[in-house]
Amino acid sequence: MGIIERIKEIEAEMARTQKNKATEYHLGQLKAKIAKLRTQLLEPPKGASGGGEGFEVTKYGHGRVALIGFPSVGKSTLLTMLTGTHSEAASYEFTTLTCIPGVIHYNDTKIQLLDLPGIIEGASEGKGRGRQVIAVAKSSDLVLMVLDASKSEGHRQILTKELEAVGLRLNKQPPQIYFKKKKTGGISFNTTAPLTHIDEKLCYQILHEYKIHNAEVLFRENATVDDFIDVIEGNRKYIKCVYVYNKIDVVGIDDVDRLARQPNSIVISCNLKLNLDRLLARMWDEMGLVRVYSKPQGQQPDFDEPFVLSSDRGGCTVEDFCNHVHRTLVKDMKYALVWGTSARHNPQNCGLSQHLEDEDVVQIVKKKERDEGGRGRFKSHSNAPARIADREKKAPLKQ
């Protein structure tokens, strides 16, 4: 029997099994069995080299966003509208057959947007080009799940399930569970929060299923069986997802209103160019990018060329900023002067661990240099983002 058939069989058994206290342990074990099989399914066949032809696109810009959705929901139309890069759009399904990259220029940053072939139910098991498409989704910082506002609302659940089946976790934080395999010593089980979904015995059973007999387990939150399995598997990818309902030009206002109120959702129409600005702003917010302007001593900062940091990737402390500018800067820094929302007063004298916020201005004072001690001040720069100009009015940027 193949892996997919075995997964189906276990799923059927789970569906037959009533959920109650007596079956809880058995169900937990079945969940672990499925998770193990799915992981096997994802392993590339022996001797295969990569696989996803046409799908390996080089990363570019400050972040990557993938367009995921059923066929003909308008992914390619959207890519063309947002990036100006043409991607063939047509009324028949599977118009797009590979990964088409485009670039969004927004807030002085560049975001790579990837158009992809449509995926269908069963994608996670290799139907269509599902596996390659999902691999691209996994490599992204944000998924835009494009949905057709006029089609079944079940599509959202089906696609979410497909992505979860291959280890993607949408709009979720990693579970607060410490887990470490050991060589000896048996299982040590501790918890700092009351557990209502799982108990020690069930944890042991799941670990047994994984043939793990020595490990340290610490639950720091009221996590579920699924959370625990995710932590054991360890290969989960936690990624943000915005559900984009396109084609609202063909549905009634009541439907538009209902869809717009779904969690993490936005409604748009490519045909009528409706709400595309809001989509861009939303995307920007979700990416959590932090623009930092570098100020050379005694000069204006260059407000056209931010250094772009990210709290999700690489971090956004003064140290991360230094590493962006030059690899020896951390070593040479005496302290940093920071203007902006992260500063308690302007400028604040900061160390390497200071967390920077979007549109902060940073001057690195090197060990050998003497800081200018309040000489000169910023003139508001013609291209300066409004927030910085405002801030300057309130608290002039000295130094």
**Interface ranges with ligand GTP (CB under 6 A):** 69, 71-77, 89-91, 93-96, 117-118, 246-247, 249-250, 269-271
Start-to-end CA distance of the chain, whole Å, equals 72
Cis peptide before 347 (omega within 30 of 0): yes
Residue among 60 and 94 whose Cβ is closer to ligand GTP: 94
Listed ranges 72-80, 134-142, 176-184, 296-304: which one lies at the site for Mg ion (CB under 5 A): 72-80
What is the side-by-side order of every strand in the sheet holding 360-366? Answer: 307-310, 289-294, 360-366, 333-339, 348-350
Query: Shortest Cβ distance from residue 94 to K ion (Å)?
Result: 7
Instruction: Provide the 3-class DSSP secondary structure of residue 322.
Output: helix
Tell me how far apart the alpha carbons of residues 270 and 78 are, in angstroms, rounded to a whole number: 6
Residue 96 interacts with Mg ion (CB under 5 A): yes or no: yes
Strand partners, 205: none
Give the tokens for residue 294: 């570098």
Give the tokens for residue 78: 């959207």
Q: What is the DSSP string of 72-89?
A: TSSHHHHHHHHH------
Query: Shortest Cβ distance from residue 278 to K ion (Å)?
Result: 24
Residue among 133 and 397 whose Cβ is closer to ligand GTP: 133
Window 14 to 73, contacts with K ion (CB under 5 A): 72
Give the tokens for residue 306: 């931010």
Query: Shortest Cβ distance from residue 149 to ligand GTP (Å)?
Result: 8
Give the tokens for residue 377: 């001040």
Query: Shortest Cβ distance from residue 95 to Mg ion (Å)?
Result: 5
Residue nearest to ligand GTP (CB): 118
Window 95 to 114, contacts with K ion (CB under 5 A): 95
Residue among 72 and 275 whose Cβ is closer to K ion: 72
Residue among 97 and 193 whose Cβ is closer to Mg ion: 97
Q: Which residues contact K ion by CB under 5 A?
A: 72, 95
> Which residues here bind Mg ion, judged by CB under 5 A?
75-76, 95-96
